[in-house]
Amino acid sequence: MFTFTKVKLAVFGIGRQCVAGRALNGARAACRGFASSSPDDESSTCENELYDIVISGGGMVGTAMACSLGLGAWDHVVNMRCKPYNKMQVWDACSDALITFDKENLQDEMAYIVENDVILASLTKQLQTLSDHVEVQYRTKVVKYTWPRPYHVAESIPWVQVTLANGKTLHTKLLIGADGPNSMVRRESGIPTVQWNYDQSAVVAVLHLSEPTENNVAWQRFLPTGPIAMLPLSDTESSLVWSTSQQHAEELLLLDEESFVDAINSAFWSNENHSELVETAGSLFRTALSVLMPDSGSARQLPPSVSGIGPKSRVMFPLGMGHATEYIRHRVALIGDAAHRVHPLAGQGANLGFGDVACLTQVLSQAAFNGKDLGAMQHLLEYETERQRHNLPMMAAIDLMKRLYSTNAAPMVLLRTLGLQATNALPPLKEQIMAYASK
């Protein structure tokens, strides 16, 4: 495997952001426009400031990209805070249907929950060890991007020019846009986006549990207003992600701590949304399933109750879906939320971004080993094809789930109740789902 040496990266970022939501976009850099002048000026600027790769955006995904082009950050994460979980229970507020995911015997870890801050801190620490090859510029904004012509024309600069607010110009062979859902790189390069708002916001907070517990289960309940999820962080703390209507989210933020805690507990525990029709149909179906497949049922467990929240940890951010129709242009690649934005209900947003990082790193390593120009379309197209093939089905599934669970109209509830119960009864199908989400 080809390792990059002397790859100069410049990563722009502001400090890290919120706890359990997606990290918000990093900084943008600004540059005065570069005017072509006499060859001496040109060559001296180029000499000092021609980077192999510039990453715009210092959130989790951008920093991960910088590290992976330099190598290795998981060790730092394990030394900070991360929590493996063995089991996941997801259920409906409008019926008794539930689905659980776990590996056999609850022995192996299914997945890890890691706070964004922790990921970011580890990656930053790793970046410091790579300071020969990776330069990080904090608190810098981009004012302008100038794109190169598609093929070489004499006397024009063939690189991407990044104009920073502090007056510096950077030239790079490849610009990676990791600057979040409102990506300036994507906008400025003219890549069209398919997007819509969900009229929802997610409220996130750190929850203190009433009593310490093994806390190795992730919980998510679909309320008519949106899913509420509790994800383990340690034996005494969990992370809350509550997606709900814009108005409700604002109300939740304004509640005092005690009322907020009550609201959370009630959301997980109350049964006020059940309808008789659906309950009857559901229990009939469950009986039928247990006759056909005796070992397939799951016992319903109740999530731990919450007693308090972490100080100043309550924030909200708007939700929407977005997909860039292209991930790449000549000398440009988009990764993370800049390329695709999803609802947090499946906890996959950042993971899709990390998948982009892994794929792009591999593609760039191979290209470098073949002596290629890093910004060339040929290998960037391979990255785009592979990631779109993986991301689009995931995004469609998440959007579908969101819509399916956004109503308490009886027919939809019945459909999803029976569907969820059926899926729960099919371990091979559940294994496939887990495998896909872990890719």
Partner 1 sequence: MTAPFHNRLPRLNLRTVSQTTLDPAEVRKFQAMASKWWDLQGEFAALHSMNDLRVPFIRDNLLNVHGVQQLGKPLAELRILDVGCGGGLLSEPLGRLGADVLGIDPVEDSVRTAEMHSSYDPNLRERVCYQACTLEELAEEEAEGFHAVIASEVVEHLADLDAFASCCRQVLKPGGSLFITTINKTNLSYTLGIVAAEQLLRIVPSGTHDWEKFISPEDLERLLESSGFYVEAIRGMMYNPLTGVWSWQKSTAINYALHAIKRKEEPQPEQTWAESENLDKPGQAPSYS
Q: Check: CB of residue 378 under 8 Å from CB of residue 278.
A: no
Q: How many residues are there in the chain?
A: 439
**Which lies closer to partner 1 via its Cβ, residue 39 or residue 428?**
39
User: Shortest distance, CB of residue 158 to partner 1, whole angstroms?
Assistant: 5
Residues 6+ apart with CB under 8 A from 255: 263
Q: What is the DSSP letter of 299?
A: -
SS3 390: helix
Residue 327 binds to partner 1 (criterion: CB under 8 A): no
Choose which of 84, 197, 259, 372 interacts with partner 1 (CB under 8 A): 372
Q: Check: CB of residue 305 under 8 Å from CB of residue 265.
A: yes
Residue 427 binds to partner 1 (criterion: CB under 8 A): no
**Which lies closer to partner 1 via its Cβ, residue 30 or residue 374?**
374
SS3 83: strand
Give CB contacts under 8 A, 24+ apart, made by 379-386. 380/328, 380/333, 381/328, 383/327, 383/328, 383/333, 383/356, 383/359, 384/326, 384/327, 384/328, 384/333, 386/359
Piece of the chain touching partner 1 by CB under 8 A; list 38-46, 58-66, 229-237, 424-432: 38-46
- Residue 394 CB neighbours (<10 A): 20
Residue 385 binds to partner 1 (criterion: CB under 8 A): no
Piece of the chain touching partner 1 by CB under 8 A; list 93-101, 110-118, 228-236, 362-370: 362-370
**Which lies closer to partner 1 via its Cβ, residue 300 or residue 372?**
372
Binding to partner 1 in span 212-271, by CB under 8 A: none
Print the SS3 string covering 221-269: EEECCEEEEEEECCCCEEEEEEEEEHHHHHHHHHCCHHHHHHHHHHHHH
SS3 220: strand
Q: Which token pair is 197?
A: 């708002």
Residue 383 binds to partner 1 (criterion: CB under 8 A): no
Binding to partner 1 in span 45-74, by CB under 8 A: 46-47, 50
**Which lies closer to partner 1 via its Cβ, residue 36 or residue 280?**
36
User: Shortest distance, CB of residue 8 to partner 1, whole angstroms?
Assistant: 11
**Which lies closer to partner 1 via its Cβ, residue 153 or residue 255?**
153
Residue 5 binds to partner 1 (criterion: CB under 8 A): yes
Piece of the chain touching partner 1 by CB under 8 A; list 120-128, 227-235, 332-340, 371-379: 371-379
Total of residues contacting partner 1 (CB under 8 A): 27
Give CB contacts under 8 A, 24+ apart, made by 370-375. 373/173, 374/52, 374/53, 374/173, 374/174, 375/159, 375/160, 375/173, 375/174, 375/330, 375/331, 375/332
Choose which of 33, 36, 41, 43 interacts with partner 1 (CB under 8 A): 43
Enclosing H/E stretch for 41:
helix 39-49
**Which lies closer to partner 1 via its Cβ, residue 152 or residue 312?**
152
User: Shortest distance, CB of residue 370 to partner 1, whole angstroms?
Assistant: 5
Nearest partner of 116 among 216, 200, 214, 15, judged by Cα: 15
Residue 377 binds to partner 1 (criterion: CB under 8 A): yes
**Which lies closer to partner 1 via its Cβ, residue 153 or residue 194?**
153
- Strand pairing class (87-92; 98-102): antiparallel
Residue 39 binds to partner 1 (criterion: CB under 8 A): yes
User: Furthest-apart CA pair in the chain: how many Å?
Assistant: 83
Residue 294 binds to partner 1 (criterion: CB under 8 A): no
What string marks each residue from 147 to 176 as x (binds partner 1 by CB under 8 A) or -? ----xxxx--xxx-------------x---
Residue 369 binds to partner 1 (criterion: CB under 8 A): yes
Region of residue 121 (phi > 0: left; psi between -120 and 50: alpha; otherwise: beta): alpha
C-alpha 71/C-alpha 82 separation (Å) is 20
Choose which of 371, 389, 428, 435 interacts with partner 1 (CB under 8 A): 371
User: Shortest distance, CB of residue 66 to partner 1, whole angstroms?
Assistant: 17
Piece of the chain touching partner 1 by CB under 8 A; list 146-154, 238-246, 264-272, 353-361: 146-154
Residue 381 binds to partner 1 (criterion: CB under 8 A): no
Binding site for partner 1 (CB under 8 A): 2-6, 39, 43, 46-47, 50, 151-154, 157-159, 173, 368-373, 376-378
